Amino acid sequence: MTPLARLTPATVDVLRVLLDDGASVWGMLVIKRTGRPAGSVYPILERLEAAGWVASSWEPDTDRSGPRRRLYELTGDGAEAARSAVARFDAVKARPASRLSGAEARA
Amino acid sequence: MIDLLLRLLARLLPPLARERYLEEWRADAAGAAEAGLRRRDVVLGALVLSATLDRALPAHSGEPLVLRPRRLARRGLGLLTAAAVVLIGYYLTAGGIVPENAPAGVVAALQLTGRLVVALALVAGVIGVVHIAGAARSAVTRTARVSLLLAIVGPATVVLGALIPGAPWWLPLLGFVLVLAGLSTGVAVLGGTRPIATAPRVATRRQRVPVALGGAALMLAVVVLGAIDLLVWNPLAKVPGTDVATIYALMAERDGFSLQPTLVMTAIWAVFWTVPALLVAALAVHRTAAALTPRRLAIVMLALVGAAIFLRFFTGFGIGMSIADTFGISGGDGSVISALLPYVGQLSLAGAAILLGWAPRVVVRPAESAVAA
């Protein structure tokens, strides 16, 4: 598994969906749950998979005919790294807000 | 319509990623409504993915990382060589041979052809630079990276030094030094510890025969037209209104011209290039020559045709000079065929160079790599 070169808010949203679900998620549901466009989510999933954070597989046999859906889930190491990355992102995001509240408190 | 777009976008992906993403996108498009999304969202997503996907990733390309810079460099060098061949030809023919006493339409058509060929060469040069820059970016060692960058900077310096008015005299010289440095470091890289991968490639007889026969036919056409032009059409174009027998008689009288040595030279030229082309064609038609793939055949045939046309200059030099001395005119070629053949030769050599660089990529399927490991 390789570390991500950059952690964007969209990547964090994708990681959150995968962490929350815990199981394999269909790519379209990741798009829906993040509220991000497919043009943003597809490349993120591809990068996460290339980096070894995420593994994908075809859905098991269903009654539905036609092309198979691709399911995504965090790998063991990926889940750990995702939790840490999301926590780090939240901490960084929270920092300016706490400074602001401190300033407001002084005022 | 959506499916067509998805199929087109999948075609832009590297070999091993195509099937997987096409099926994924099709399933996503089919179930978009179920997820509360629109099918066109999938197309937009596929569009962005096809543009941003990491093409170098072995899982997608099937190509081991170490082979990528070599493949790109080979293609880039092929394209740069093709551009150089055409531009040198353009320079040697002083911007293209202009036929004498030919209809204005023919002259205009040939000039347009010349401009198109040069434009194609420039486009090939730019694409070649992009390939070499890509190879330098993905090269493993610093020596390889420097060598590839010199392959861009060297020729660019030569071109700038030659084209910019008032450029210092040493600029093209510096360019040649950079090219030599790039070549020597390139040889050092290729002779390094990693062996160059080769892929055994074969072709069926049905695939080989059309290229073999086409190549042989092209060579025969060039030799027949080139020989007739040299002995008949070009003298007639240089001295209009006079028949060939009179032209030869005047040349013999005023310049001591003898037709026999020119006939012998022309015959040697024709046989020298026709025999190898016919031998290669015969070999390709034979059942056992499976390794002569259409690409390899085309490289050999086009190189032979290009070389034959280039060396026709020396075959026709004596008769050209004699025409010039006898009639007090220039010794340069003046017929339509003489003007056309250099373009055929340049394009043949350029095509051979590009095909030489354009070896198919070595694709290792995941299952095979697992077995190999």
Q: Where residue A33 falls among pLDDT bands split at 50, 70, 90?
A: very high
- The domain total for chain B is 3
**CB-based contact (8 Å) between B30 and chain A?**
yes
Nearest-CA distance from A19 to chain B in Å?
19
**Per the CB < 8 Å rule, is A39 touching B37?**
no
Residue written as token pair 């339509």: B336
Single-letter amino acid code for the residue at B215: G
Whether residue B29 is found in the same domain as residue B85: no
Packing angle of the helix pair B39-52, B15-30 (nearest 10 deg): 160
> By CA distance, what is A58's nearest residue in B?
B24
Q: Which amino acid is at B240?
A: P
Question: How far apart, in whole angstroms, are the C-alpha atoms of residue B285 and residue B371?
Answer: 36
Name chain B contacts of A32, Cβ cutoff 8 Å: 35-37
Residue B345: pLDDT band (50, 70, 90) is very high
The tokens describing A27, both together, are 């790519």
pLDDT at B185: 80
Shortest Cα distance, chain A CAs vs residue B28, angstroms? 6
- pLDDT at position B325: 93
| Residue B373 lies inside a defined structural domain of this protein | no
Are residues B90 and B55 part of one domain?
A: no
Q: Which ipTM score applies to this complex?
A: 0.86
> Cβ neighbours of residue B247 under 8 Å, at least 6 residues apart?
B235, B236, B239, B323
Residue B195 lies in a domain: no
Could you tell me if B178 and B210 lie in one domain?
no
Is B41's CB within 8 Å of A69's CB? no
Most B CBs within 10 Å: which of A2, A28, A49, as the mutation test of the B interface?
A: A28
Q: Is B364 inside a domain boundary?
A: no
Q: Does B261 reside within a domain?
A: yes
Q: How far apart are CA B320 and CA B331, in angstroms?
A: 5
Residues of B in Cβ contact (< 8 Å) with A66: 26-27, 30
Tell which wins on pLDDT, A5 or B335.
Answer: B335
State whether B223 and B331 are in the same domain: yes
Q: How far is CA B289 from CA B8, B204, B279, B328, in A?
A: 37, 9, 12, 53
Q: What is the pLDDT of residues B148-195, one digit of tens each?
A: 899 889 988 988 888 888 889 899 899 999 988 888 887 777 666 555
Same domain, B245 and B328: yes
Long-range contacts for B243-249 (Cβ within 8 Å, ≥24 apart)? Answer: B247/B323
Smallest Cα distance from B39 to chain A, Å: 10
- Chain B: give the shortest CA distance to residue A12, in Å: 18
**Interval B183-236: pLDDT, tens:** 888 777 766 655 555 667 888 888 999 999 999 999 999 999 999 999 999 999
Residue B368 lies in a domain: no
Alpha carbon of B358: minimum distance to chain A alpha carbons (Å): 28
Residue B371 resides in a domain = no
* Predicted local confidence at residue B365, as pLDDT: 61
pLDDT in tens, B49-71: 999 888 778 788 777 777 788 88
Closest residue to A39, CB basis, from B47, B54, B57: B47
For chain A, which domains are there?
Answer: 9-60+68-106 (1.10.10.10)
Q: Residue B362 pLDDT > 80, yes or no? A: no
pLDDT per residue as tens digits for the range A35-52: 999 999 999 999 999 899
The residues that bridge with B42 in the sheet, in sequence order, are none
Average pLDDT over chain B, rounded to an integer: 88
Q: Both tokens of residue B310?
A: 């280039």
Task: Please say which residue of B60, B83, B105 terminates a domain.
Answer: B60
- Indicate if B152 and B99 belong to the same structural domain: yes
Chosen for mutation from A42, A44, A64 (greatest number of chain B CBs closer than 10 Å) is: A42
Distances (CA, A) of B275 to B214, B224, B280, B313, B345: 15, 13, 9, 19, 18
Q: Are residues B253 and B215 in the same domain?
A: yes
Q: Smallest Cβ distance to B23: which of A26, A41, A67? A: A67
d(CA B247, CA B226): 19
All residues of chain B having their beta carbon less than 8 Å from the beta carbon of residue A52 are: none
Nearest chain B Cα distance for residue A94, angstroms:
31
Residues B304 and B168 in one domain: no
Specify if B89 maps to a domain: yes
pLDDT at residue B113 tops 90 = yes
The verdict on B289 and B338 lying in the same domain is yes
Output the pLDDT for position B369: 41
What tens digit of pLDDT does each residue of B253-298 get? 998 999 999 999 999 999 999 999 999 999 998 878 888 899 999 9
Assess whether B307 and B235 both reside in one domain.
Answer: yes
User: Six-digit token pair at B49?
Assistant: 């993915």
| A37 with B45: Cβ contact below 8 A | yes
Domain interval for residue B9? 2-60
The 10 Å CB-count burial string (b at 16+, else e) for A42-79 is bbbbbbbbebebbebeeeeeeeeeebbbbbbbbbeebb
> Which helix or strand (DSSP H or E) is residue B177 part of?
helix B170-190
- Examine the domain organization and report whether B311 and B182 are in the same domain: no
Residue B88 lies in a domain: yes
Q: What is the pLDDT of residue B234?
A: 94
Q: Which residues of A touch B41 (CB under 8 A)?
A: 31, 37-38
Nearest to A11 by CA among A36, A22, A20: A36
pLDDT at B198: 61
Please name which of B44, A10, B366, A23 lies closest in space to residue B25, comparing C-alpha atoms: B44
CB pairs under 8 A between A and B: 73
pLDDT at B331: 82
